[in-house]
Chain A
Amino acid sequence: MRATVLVRPKPGILDPQGQAVSSSLQHLGFEVERARVGRVIDLELAGDDEADARRSLERMCEQLLANPLIESYEIALDASTGA
């Protein structure tokens, strides 16, 4: 089973990387008002129980993939990609 985890800096958290990207895009002539830079983590999971996978993905995010103080996360699970 494949899953994608999106990790974003929470609103209100200073994101200097996003600011640099936004200013660079503006220099290129794009009309960008704001950019925020996060992280994508693609995972391939063993097992085929969707509910189990979802539970363990939540735990992965809470324990390691995101720091809940400064980051939010979003899980997308593609159950159609089982082995």
Chain B
Amino acid sequence: MTTGTGRSSDEPRPVVAVVVFPGSNDDRDAQRALELLGADARLVWHGDDELPRGTAAVVLPGGFSFGDYLRCGAIARFSPVMRAVAAFARDAGHVLGICNGFQILTEAGLLPGALRPNASLSFVCRDVALTVERTDTPFTSRCAHVALDRPLTIPVKHGEGCWFADEELLEELEASGQIVLRYAAGDNPNGAVADVAGVLGEHGNVFGLMPHPEHAVDPLLGSTDGGLILGSLVDAARLSLASPV
């Protein structure tokens, strides 16, 4: 099988915490996709002080936390659970932010750059083609067999996905290999600097992306490429169970 989905059912199901903020709306999609990919995905309320016992990875899902007031993600980053998420990341735990989750992680300083309103000022909702720059990360390992052949197809849906970093920061990130996912040439939906669609934190265990892998895990919806991203995370979470962080 070359799709992202499908793993044998006798492998352990790592606990993946999916944080629910007021205004999150992709939490259940993320949970369903992660379950499909072999995780024990649990919804965690933003007001909780702790992650579930045995959490092996954390996903901050898409949506409009706190109504996107002030700046997207600016208020959610102060939710009680974010202290636990930051501590989990400090201890080398894997954290994935999707869309609004990406915005929250940049606001929290766990990922570099910032997300600004789309250059077009329009909300954009469509499939995009993505090139994977590295497959040696916990978030892209399953892309190894497709990365060189073809771009991934995963939908975006956002009004503020224009990733920004100044020249100096961008140069640093390019040099350190933290730019992991880009919109394919000519397919940048939001004006992001250097076509950046997904960026890795400095220690390689935190990743954020604007496209929605959880909406691309079922052939019925046109693409299963999202399973390559989420499946990579489930693999990494399973590995971390074998050697607890």
Q: What is A's interface to B at a CB cutoff of 8 Å?
A: 12-14, 16-17, 20, 64-65, 67, 69-70
Known contacts A69-B113, A69-B114, A70-B114: A12-B166 contact under CB 8 Å = yes
Q: Looking at the complex, which of B8-16, B117-125, B130-138, B176-184 is the stretch in contact with chain A?
A: B117-125
Interface positions of B (Cβ within 8 A of A) = 70-71, 74-75, 78, 107, 113-114, 116-121, 162, 164-166, 191
Question: For the complex, what is the distance from the CA of A17 to the CA of B120, rounded to whole Å?
Answer: 9
The 8 Å CB contact of A16, one of B70, B71, B75, B118, is B118
- The count of A-to-B residue pairs whose CB atoms sit within 8 angstroms is 34
Beta-carbon contact of A17 and B117 below 8 Å: yes
How far, in angstroms, from A64 to B191 measured CA to CA in the complex? 25
CA distance A12 to B118 in the complex (A): 16
Contact of A70 among B75, B78, B116, B120 (CB under 8 A): B116
A13 to B117, alpha carbons, bound, how many Å?
Answer: 11
Other A-B pairs beyond A69-B113, A70-B114, A70-B164, 11, CB < 8 Å:
A13-B164, A14-B116, A14-B191, A16-B121, A17-B117, A64-B74, A64-B75, A67-B74, A67-B107, A69-B166, A70-B116
* Complex Cα spacing A1 to B120, Å: 40
Contact A20 B164 (CB under 8 A): no
CB distance from A59 to the nearest CB of B (A): 13
Q: For A20, list chain B residues within 8 Å (CB).
A: 121
Query: In angstroms, how far is the closest chain B Cβ from the Cβ of A38?
Result: 12
Closest Cβ neighbor of B118 among chain A residues: A16
Chain A residues lying within 8 Å of B75, measured Cβ to Cβ, are 64
Inside 8 A of A67's CB, which chain B residues have their CB?
71, 74, 107, 114
Rounded to whole angstroms, the CA-CA distance of A26 and B185 in the bound complex is 33
Could you tell me if B70 and A13 are in contact, using CB atoms closer than 8 angstroms?
no
